[in-house]
Amino acid sequence: MALGFTLAYLALIVLIPLTGLVLRSASLGFPGFWHVATDPRTVNALKISFGTSLIAAVINVIFGIIVAWVLVRYRFPGRRIVDAIVDLPFALPTAVAGIALTALYSKNGWIGRWLDLIGIKVAFTPIGITIALIFIGLPFVVRTVQPVMEEIRKEVEEAAATLGANRFQTITRVLLPGLQPAILTGFALAFARAVGEYGSVIFIAGNLPYVSEIAPLLIVIRLEEFDYAGATAIATIMLLISFFMLFVINLIQAWSRRRYGYGA
């Protein structure tokens, strides 16, 4: 009963729209599809989308772990407020974030003006895109790693210490490997979210074709040109790449769950 409901629900919400997408792009025929897929503009947009998403997710993993650690282990005034701030990127309309970030990082913005002095341009470059993606992805890592971290007993660290492990060894050999499944989940979520992100990026990206044009924007551009088949073709390629990456991450997780008997 529950299974039947789940399948029907998933079909309605996820599968049917996606099938529609693939079918629509199929109307191009294979040569047409191939033409869209190998178009340098498409290829560049995909490269930028997946490249910046990957970098953003990696950075989010590193700093997300640190943020989660501080929230779990440190007691300081205002901790609850900091804890709430982490969720803001979830709640904020992404366009608002995009506009704010653009204002900050543009040539005469608060931060951008200093970066400009040392010759770093952020707004309207892939760096700007990456910053926007870091912003929207952070809570995914923090919120998946945090609960698992809370479960780590202080005793495990103490056990490592009595066995002679220094702090560095305890972190790299005991704590991080124990968090690996959760970290992987956080990474996958942040990455997936970043690939699909649109609102915050288009403001800061500058959207120069071949340089800072992301795939979701290219889809919108095709739509505005009434090239529905072309739009769905790019979407289908994104779908395939994303599905493949998430599938691989899932495999790694299943493998670690089998080994440790737990996992996020």
Partner 1 sequence: MDVRVSGVRKEFDRFPALHDVSLDINSGELIALLGPSGSGKTTLLRLIAGLETPTEGKVFFGDEDASLKSVQERNVGFVFQHYALFRHMTVIDNVSFGLKVRPGSSRPSKDEIRRRSSELLDFVQLSGLEKRYPAQLSGGQRQRVALARAMAIEPRVLLLDEPFGALDAKVRKELRRWLREIHDKTKHTTVFVTHDQDEALELADRVVVMSQGRIEQIGTPDEVYDRPNSPFVYSFIGESSSTEVQIKNGELWFDGQALGISSDRPDGEGMLYFRPHDIELIDASNRGIAGTVVASRRVGATRRIELAIAGATDHVEIEIPADHPATETSRIAFRPKHWRVFPKS
Interacting residues with partner 1 (CB under 8 A):
153, 155-156, 158-166, 169, 173-174, 177-178, 180, 259-262
The CA distance from 115 to 120, in Å, is: 5
Size of the chain in residues: 264
Closest approach, Cβ 182 to partner 1, in A, equals: 12
Q: Say if CB 235 and CB 37 are below 8 A apart.
A: no
Tokens of 143: 């919120």
Please name the residues in contact with 111: beta carbons below 8 A apart, sequence gap of 6 or more. Answer: 104, 105, 122
DSSP letter for 108, please: T
With respect to partner 1, which residue has the nearer C-beta, 78 or 261?
261
Closest approach, Cβ 151 to partner 1, in A, equals: 10
With respect to partner 1, which residue has the nearer C-beta, 180 or 242?
180
The CA distance from 195 to 53, in Å, is: 6
With respect to partner 1, which residue has the nearer C-beta, 27 or 172?
172
With respect to partner 1, which residue has the nearer C-beta, 228 or 262?
262
DSSP track, 112-139: HHHHHHTT---TTSHHHHHHHHHHHHHH
- Biggest CA pair distance of the chain: 68
Closest approach, Cβ 173 to partner 1, in A, equals: 7
Please name the residues in contact with 159: beta carbons below 8 A apart, sequence gap of 6 or more. Answer: none
Closest approach, Cβ 250 to partner 1, in A, equals: 19
DSSP track, 54-67: HHHHHHHHHHHHHH
With respect to partner 1, which residue has the nearer C-beta, 96 or 159?
159
Closest approach, Cβ 162 to partner 1, in A, equals: 4
With respect to partner 1, which residue has the nearer C-beta, 108 or 162?
162
Closest approach, Cβ 191 to partner 1, in A, equals: 23
